[in-house]
Copies of this chain bind each other. A is one copy, B any other.
Amino acid sequence: MESDIGFKTALEEAQKGCEEGGVPIGAALVSADGKLLGRGHNMRIQKGSATLHAEISALESAGRLPAATYRGATMYTTLSPCDMCTGACVLYKVNRVVIGENKTFVGGEDYLKQKGVEVVVLQNEKCEELMKKFISEKPGDWNEDIGEEDS
C-alpha cells in the first residue's frame, strides 16, 4: 500500500512550485512507519539555486538523521530523479523511491535498482500536466535544470 501522505505531500509541493512560477517538482521523505520526515520542491527559479531540486529540498528539510532512519524510508518525488537526486538516495540508502511520472524525463531509475532500491512509477497525470505546462512556458529554465543546452 502506498503511503497516502507521501505522494500527496510531494504533489502539494509540486503545486506550490507551480504557483510560485518555479519548476513544478515536489518531493517528500517518509519513514518506515509512515511519518513525514521532510518535504520540499525545486527552488531553481525562486532561490536561484542549482542544487535545490525537490528531493534535495526534502532531504534538507528533514535535517540530520541517523543512517538507520533513511534505510527504511521512501522518497516520493513527482518526477523521475536526476543523477544528483538519484545519488542522494543512494548515499543515504533509502529503501524505496516512488515516482509520480517518468514520461517527461527519465533519470537514474536503473542505477537505483542496481543499488537495491525499490522503484515504483505511478504515471500520475497531474504530475505530467504540471511539467508539460512548465516546459511549454519556460523551456530554457527546464533545460538548465537538467543540465541540457537549449535546442
Q: Which residues of A contact B (CB under 8 A)?
A: 44, 48-52, 56, 59-60, 62-68, 70, 82-88, 90-93, 108, 143-144, 146-150
Contacts and interface: CB of A to CB of B under 8 A. Distances in A.
A146 B92 CA distance: 7
Contacts of A91: 82-84, 146-147
A50 B59 contact: yes
Contacts of A62: 50
Given A84-B88, A91-B84, A60 B50 contact: yes
B48 A64 contact: yes
Given A67-B148, A68-B149, 5 more contacts: A49-B60, A51-B88, A84-B84, A84-B87, A84-B88
Contacts of A63: 48-50
Contacts of A150: 67
List the 3 closest A-B pairs by CB distance, nearest first.
A87-B87, A83-B87, A84-B88
Nearest to A70: B147
A91 B59 CA distance: 18
Contacts of A144: 64, 66-67
A63 B47 CA distance: 9
A37 to B, nearest CB: 10
27 contacts: A48-B63, A48-B64, A49-B60, A49-B63, A49-B64, A50-B65, A51-B59, A51-B88, A56-B56, A66-B144, A66-B149, A67-B143, A67-B144, A67-B147, A67-B148, A70-B147, A83-B90, A83-B91, A84-B84, A84-B87, A84-B88, A84-B90, A84-B91, A85-B87, A87-B108, A91-B147, A92-B147
